[in-house]
Amino acid sequence: MATTAEIRNGLCIRHNEKLFQIIEFQHVKPGKGPAFVRTKMRQIESGKVIDNTFSAGHKIEIVRIENREYQYLYQESDDFIFMNNETFEQVNIPNKMVEKPDFLQEGMIVNILFHAEEEMPLVVELPMYIIAEVTYTEPGVKGDTATNSLKPATIATGAEVRVPLFIANGEIIKIDTRTGVYVERVKN
């Protein structure tokens, strides 16, 4: 068991029988009363962010997690199959553990957080940006490049994103996987 003095960004702890990752923290020593630690934590399984306050010296249970690189191979019913490029070991990950499954591309390298003691996968993190081809979008009208209007477009993975009016079928675009927002057009 550790104490609140060991809290740092990125630390994983068990709190109320659930796993949380510390996003940010602040040690507070008010002029009157005992010190405390104000934290913002993300529940690993659901991704929900909560605020929590621990009193100074409160015992916390630190959980060791490992971040490993895996390559996405294919989908089999409700599971995604990933492979470790060093050991060639394959692991099945349920659909609900992948943050944005619509953006998965075959051969994509992802980070999988594992509970180190139990060797259990916790969450799959996609790369920050992906490059994808637009497979279908309505044609743009000539001269519509000055406005900030967006239209729906379907990319090769089947996901739908909003793109500027000048984007046409077959163009390659860069997408932010955290928000699902178009970033820029990629030159060939």
Amino acid 114: pLDDT: 87
N- to C-terminal Cα separation, the chain: 54
Q: 152 and 105: one domain?
A: no
> 68 burial class (0-12, 13-18, 19+ CB within 10 angstroms)?
middle
Q: 74 and 112: one domain?
A: yes
136 SS3 class: strand
- 76, 96, 125 - which closes a domain: 125
- As a whole number, mean pLDDT of residues 158-180 equals 90
Question: By residue range, what is the domain housing residue 93?
Answer: 65-125
In terms of phi and psi (left: phi > 0; alpha: psi -120 to 50; beta: otherwise), the region of 117 is alpha
- 44, 62, 80 - which closes a domain: 62
Q: What percent of the chain has pLDDT over 90?
A: 47
Amino acid 143: pLDDT: 63
Contacts of 143 (CB under 8 A, 6+ apart): none
Number of domains observed in the structure of the chain? 3
Q: 113 and 137: one domain?
A: no
Q: 78 and 112: one domain?
A: yes
The whole model's pTM is what?
0.74
The CA distance from 42 to 83, in Å, is 26
For the stretch 79-116, pLDDT in tens is 999 999 899 999 999 887 887 889 999 999 999 888 88
CATH code for the domain of 14: 2.30.30.30
The CA distance from 42 to 19, in Å, is 9
